[in-house]
Structure 1
């Protein structure tokens, strides 16, 4: 087996920081390359490591019935820096885990900068051949620089796939009219009032939909045929599917009661707290490609947001990922150059939590490659194992698209036997999810204990 001189990480996002943190526990020196602030991106606003450029939500924290909640818990079991920091900086969001984005990034940045094994280097890496006799983890995410992207295409002998990702606007809380809007979570989950809700009548809803249609949009001729990821679909793209589509998506009016009117709203716009002090709220599911000049006019047609002011308007950024099932082995290593490990969103996982999980795995894999020791991957009935197997083995390379964690990626528990060897009762719905969640966490705990010993 090859002996490597050093471990390098390219990219100081969630995956890169998680990988660096995990490797540092073994006393191995790491060079962590982050091109910012010397080289800017179209989406980042600060110079901090692990800046969240899209939503501030890590999605559901329900570890009993939701796959991403199980992934949260597995990360906690594995002593994840990202999850630990998210928990310390959470803001009200019902049953979801959302964070104060600035405090979150500042804390990650400070933690990473203070670990003696991690050498943060602000430099753009353009060529992976710099690391021929060293391990390099490529965790450059959706905003991989153009020069490095070109080099990756050459290295992989494949065209990287790309699409645009949209970000939602952020509103100043004090500019929301609370005589029209009200605080409540759907079905009163969480604290029951974690979201601000703006009600629309049928007439107001159609006025809003028409305003979206008529608003000038950002044009991206270079990528006119580039698809959007379903989880960050711009509202303009949703509207194109039909005038009623928003009402069955981010604007669904169910599970809420307007205290200001007896009349049931035809549609609802929800805003979720974006920082710890509660001064900022993002408009949930309102990623947009409308031009900045028209966004305020369109969003101010929403009752309660007539005088809204914005800390950030919505926008689009480029997202790049590789055909992982075709070019990576089961340990995230490039088949043609095993010293290169890919990590985070560039592998084709989608979401903050998924990126962090792949970051954790890439760090542990790099440690074992560096030490020339065998490494056992987590079982596929864990959320970590299911993600890994999906992106490296199970997905069709020709139709490969970014994927969030879901129970559908995991083995069907109905194919398992009970402890007494008998076929278990057929499970479905919440009963099935509860068993999948419990088995995932139990298997992950066993795996963690095994690799630590």
Structure 2
């Protein structure tokens, strides 16, 4: 059984069925909605439509490449439904989720049940828990009773999306940062006065109210802070974050090669929008997660040059995310220490990011299938990004555990110290992919020698 058809659950169900093992996939939508989802499709992307950097010498890109080599359905489908996003892997949300839903609905070994799973299944049932950070109240309560933990959560937020036809392209311009790839982003430049007026409006705008039980524990995930929280942290915090102008140049400002002149002429701050769909009709505001009331979002965000008449297809939302105290509870195989036939995958394990959720789904699904087939479970080497993430969440110091995105700091040090960052990351990548190949070849030889 796989509970939850998000990114992790979709991947887990596919890996189980691909191993020849029948699987029941349980998804509560549309019978019961979550605070962040908008559809009943599998693997719906509720925040950004981007899986992060595509290049394999970046942490997110390396994780994607490892998953490609491991036969991930979710990543291969993302490749098929990608949209222009500079150096990132971004997808057409609707087509992407619909394609994954269709594949699983038509797989002969996958049975789909649209209902809420209220409790953990019996201990003898091989189960992948992939309910994500928005686990329903009843199941979350049962999980708290099972684990004895009730203190792991943070608040996450999603960015607004606007109708591309309502963006004023006489004010905005197309470009990618440092001209990497094609001009895939729409950029809205601000001068100093516009930036400070915008920040002032953000600081005074009215926020949506948290529920009473949430107010005393409103901890944000640092990797996905609401834009108004960034504004509160200092005059220039946004300019060193999602509004940084570095590397963005509008050709209408003049064809200048002198670096000092370009620095003097560039915008004071730039708001970027990334394409949401294949046809380029929908655009999301990069880094603009927010908890402002919807009316306030419309008022304040229309202060951005080029968005004065923007029509909002979706407003930003904030929601409470639950995660496990993984170092106490999980093995590197993603099995629960106290119940080995129960596995966890995705953001509920304390990994952060879409590709990391898919990685957890791959490993949990693979190991669930191996349990069903009477084979030993596997863990991947910590020199790979997938292995580094799963070893981190299972071995991190307990008590101060917080969600972790993929990053090269998780990997063991290289045998040779390399000062140049690009070469160092390339060396991490080469070692990771070589060790992943060795690990999979070794496992295949063991499986052939000792069939179930």
Verify same fold: TM over 0.5. Answer: yes
Partners of 1:386 and 1:410 within 8 A in 2: yes
Deviations 1:269-326 (A, max 9, x none): 0000011000011000000011001111101111111100111011112211010001
- Worse-matched range after superposition: 180-189 or 362-371: 362-371
- Cross-structure match for 1:311: 313
1:55 to 25, 28, 48: 48
Q: In the aligned structure 2, how far is the partner of 1:79 from the partner of 1:209?
A: 45
Partners of 1:180 and 1:260 within 8 A in 2: no
Residue 399 of structure 1: how far off its partner (Å):
0.9
Residue 429 of structure 1: how far off its partner (Å):
1.6
Residue 161 of structure 1: how far off its partner (Å):
0.9
Deviations 1:311-362 (A, max 9, x none): 1011112211010001112321222222211111100001110000010000
TM-score normalised to structure 1 length:
0.94
- Cross-structure match for 2:397: 396
Structure 2 counterpart SS, 1:131: coil
Residue 153 (structure 1) aligned with residue 144 (structure 2) = yes
Q: CA RMSD in A?
A: 1.2
Kindly report which structure 2 residues correspond to 1:77-156, keeping only aligned pairs within 5 A, or say none.
77-128=69-120, 130-156=121-147
Residue 427 of structure 1: how far off its partner (Å):
4.1
Residue 227 (structure 1) aligned with residue 228 (structure 2) = no
Q: Give the unaligned 5+ runs of structure 2.
A: 255-264, 446-452
Kindly report which structure 2 residues correspond to 1:360-379, keeping only aligned pairs within 5 A, or say none.
360-379=362-381
- Cross-structure match for 1:443: 435
- Cross-structure match for 2:235: 243
Residue 376 of structure 1: how far off its partner (Å):
3.2
- Cross-structure match for 1:205: 195
- Cross-structure match for 1:408: 409
Partners of 2:367 and 2:378 within 8 A in 1: no
- Cross-structure match for 1:346: 348
When residues 426 and 251 of structure 1 are mapped into structure 2, their CA distance, relative to the original with a 3 A threshold, is: closer
Kindly report which structure 2 residues correspond to 1:214-363, keeping only aligned pairs within 5 A, or say none.
214-220=204-210, 221-224=212-215, 225-261=217-253, 263-363=265-365
Q: In the aligned structure 2, how far is the partner of 1:309 from the partner of 1:435?
A: 46
Deviations 1:24-65 (A, max 9, x none): 1121110111011111111111111111111000000111x2
- Cross-structure match for 2:8: 15
Deviations 1:371-394 (A, max 9, x none): 22223311110011101100111x
- Cross-structure match for 2:257: none
Structure 2 counterpart SS, 1:223: helix
Q: Give the unaligned 5+ runs of structure 1.
A: 1-7, 417-423
TM-score normalised to structure 2 length:
0.94
- Cross-structure match for 2:389: 387
Q: In the aligned structure 1, how far is the partner of 2:108 from the partner of 2:391?
A: 33
TM superposition outliers: structure 1 runs of 4+ over 6 Å: none
Residue 67 of structure 1: how far off its partner (Å):
1.2
